[in-house]
Every structure is written in C-alpha cells, then in structure tokens.
Amino acid sequence: MDEALPDLPRKGRGAVSNPTGRYEPETRHAVHDGWDIADDLPPLRTTVTEEVPRTAIAYNDSPDIPFDRSINPYRGCEHGCVYCYARPSHARYGLSPGLDFETRLFAKRDLAEVLVRDLAKPGYAPQAITLGANTDPYQPIERERRLTRGVLEVLERCEHPVVVITKSALVLRDLDILSAMAAKNLCAVAVSVTTLDRELARRMEPRAATPPRRIETIAALSKAGVPATVMAAPMIPFLNDWELERILAAAAGAGARAAGYVLLRLPLELKDLFGEWLEAHAPGKARHVLDQLRTCRNGQLYVSEFGERMRGSGTYAELLADRFHLACRRFGLNKRVTPVGVPSHDDDALDCSRFRPPVPPGGQFSLF
C-alpha cells in the first residue's frame, strides 16, 4: 500500500480513506494537523498491473447465488462504488480495500487463451458462466484492454452460455456478440441500477454510468433481443431503499424481463469504509442507516451466514422483500425468484446443449 493518504473525499473516487489491509503486519494512519492541506486534493492516478492467470474460471458452491462458476477479467474496479462487497479481496494482495481498490487495478493478460484451455479440459460439463460476479467486466479500462470482449468471443465460438453483470453502458459495444448468442438462448445481461438520483450516484458510484444511461442500456439490450435483468442492489436503508419501486418501474418500462435486489452487505473492512463515506457525504443519516442495518443483522453490521447475508432478517428486511415481490408482480417482472431476490432462470434456462469444446493451440481435432 502507498504511504498514508489524507482521509478526505476526493473528486471522482468513492472511498474516503486507504486503510491498511487486514493481513499487513503494520498499520498506517493518516495524521495531519489541518495545515498545508489543499481544499481540493489532487486526483489519484489509476495504475494497471498485468498478470497471467493460471485458470480463467472460478467455481463456488454458495447456496446464496444461482451460479456455480464465474470469470472476472479484472481485480479492483475503477467505478469506485463505495459499497462494493469485493473491496476486502484487495487485502489479500497487500493492498487497501479503500482507495487502492479503485486506483490499483490488475488485468488478467491472455485471459481468452487461458479460458480456451479451461473449456477444453476432458470432462468439462457446461453450465452458464457469470461474467463479472466480483468486479465489473466493463469498467473503464476494458475500453483499451478488451479482455471481456475476448472472453465473449471464445464463448460465442464454443456456444457456451453466459450471464453478464455490469453497471456500464460499455456492454453495448459487444452487442454484436451478445445479440447473436441471445438468438440461440446463450446469454442474458443484468444491469445494476442502485438509484435514479444522479447526484447520489455521482457520490456513491463516482465513475460508473449515470442512472439514465443504465436505463437506456437496458432498453438497447432489450431492443436487440438480449434478455435484460435489473439488479436494484444494494438497497440501503434511508438512502436509496425508497427508490426500489421506481427503479423496477423504470427498468420494466425499458424492457427488463427480470429483477433482483440485495440488502447492503458490509463484510470486513467495508464496515468502516462505508461508515466513513456516510459521515462525509450523508452525516445526518449516518447513524440511522447503520442502526437500521444492525436491526437486520442480529445487532451487527454484517452476518455471514448463508440465507441471511444477502437479505437480512427482521421486520425491515421482510418489508423490503414484500415490497420487491409486489413491485415485480405489478410491473410484470420475475415469475420466479430465489429467496434472496436473485432472478431464477428456471423458466427460461440458457441452453447448455450446444456447447462444443474448443481445440487448444497444438491440440488435435476430433474425427467426429
């Protein structure tokens, strides 16, 4: 981690501070006496480090999510969403889940070639791959790196089903691939819409697409025949939870077929990072937001147990779930959803029967 940075909001960045990761032997604290601190701190530069992954596909056995495998072309995310549950993962690499997470990024070089090897392994059984389950596959550096595009090209050639999760309009760049795959029932796209308030989005998700642009993205995907889901996630008490019905209505009007929601999760370092952000950007609501979250987490800010971590428990969590299901029925979204509000594709499953294993470089083609 870089030397301690002043704990002050920075234009274009989500986290307020850059705390030391939990695995580091030393803890650094930014200390200043109020002198020689500029009113506007200089912008932090984004750096990208290339790495060659050993595998492209990550597997999970979590009962809380409706997929067992995913691909993440990047580690860290420049969108800077302050609530991102992936932030604590940066600590594993000696970096901070704070500003480091959104400024010190890693790109998985040769990811498409590694994916070919994964898919060509004997006995590989296809199931839909989720692209972007941890960090956004269409964050700004994808414009130049094109790692996500390369992954989609491999999946299209192999006719392997894929679900994309993003909050970026850049997904429309790859509409040629996505629409062709959708015509074969091989893909779907979920667009995250956390708020319709542009000012709140600018402070909470500083480098992501504006809310109107995300609704336009849903409309463009739907018009091209790509099944679109809206993810109203996370829902944050007293901050954006009142918008739930408005978000679902706007997305349904744009052509979304399904919807999901998740109650804000604050694992590990994210508790303090989000608390700092509240004090900096919504100080009058900070205590109310955190107290309400505690009522949904058995008096704590986070509970990691399966079945509760996505949805919470108690009166508020039950009310939020009821509102979600009623709104889905009202706007024609979701015939079936999982208990945590994540869309179920049981009624419209992507087609795994078309899959054709790729031939890796130097491999032998089948005679049949």
| Cβ atoms of 261 and 324 closer than 8 Å | yes
pLDDT at 337: 44
Torsion of CA 277, 280, 285, 291, to 10 degrees: 40
- The CATH number linked to 253 is 3.80.30.30
| Cβ atoms of 105 and 47 closer than 8 Å | yes
pLDDT at 367: 45
Would you write out the chain's pLDDT as a tens digit for each of its 368 residues?
554 555 678 888 999 999 887 777 766 656 555 555 555 556 789 999 999 999 999 998 887 778 899 999 999 999 999 999 999 999 999 999 999 999 999 999 999 999 999 999 999 999 999 999 899 999 999 999 999 999 999 999 999 999 999 999 999 999 999 999 999 999 999 999 999 999 999 999 999 999 999 999 999 999 999 999 999 999 999 999 999 999 999 999 999 999 999 999 999 999 999 999 999 999 999 999 999 999 999 899 988 777 677 788 999 999 999 999 999 999 999 865 443 344 444 445 899 999 999 987 666 555 44
Q: Give the whole-angstrom CA distance, residue 151 versus residue 174.
A: 11
| Domain-embedded: residue 366 | no
pLDDT at 7: 65
CB atoms within 10 A of CB 99: 24
Q: Which of 235, 73, 246, 64 is nearest to 146 (CA)?
A: 73
Which residues are CB-contacts of 146 (< 8 A; sequence separation ≥ 6)? none
The DSSP string of 8-37 is S--TT-S-S--PPPTT-SS-------SSS-
| Cα 230–chain centre separation | 12
The number of domains in the chain is 1
pLDDT at 232: 97
CB atoms within 10 A of CB 111: 23
The pair of three-digit structure tokens given for residue 294, joined into one six-digit string: 């505690």
| Domain-embedded: residue 95 | no
State the Cα angle at 277 between 273 and 281, rounded to 5°. Answer: 180
| Domain-embedded: residue 104 | no
pLDDT at 22: 79
| Domain-embedded: residue 282 | yes
Query: What kind and span of H or E run contains 190?
Result: strand 187-192
Q: Which domain holds residue 302?
A: 52-70+109-348
| Domain-embedded: residue 197 | yes
| Domain-embedded: residue 44 | no
| Domain-embedded: residue 171 | yes
| Domain-embedded: residue 255 | yes
Question: Residue 289 phi/psi, 5° resolution?
Answer: -60, -50
CB atoms within 10 A of CB 193: 27
H-helix segments, the chain: 99-103, 111-120, 142-145, 147-158, 175-182, 198-204, 211-223, 244-254, 270-281, 286-296, 315-331
pLDDT at 11: 85
Which residues are CB-contacts of 331 (< 8 A; sequence separation ≥ 6)? 248, 249, 252
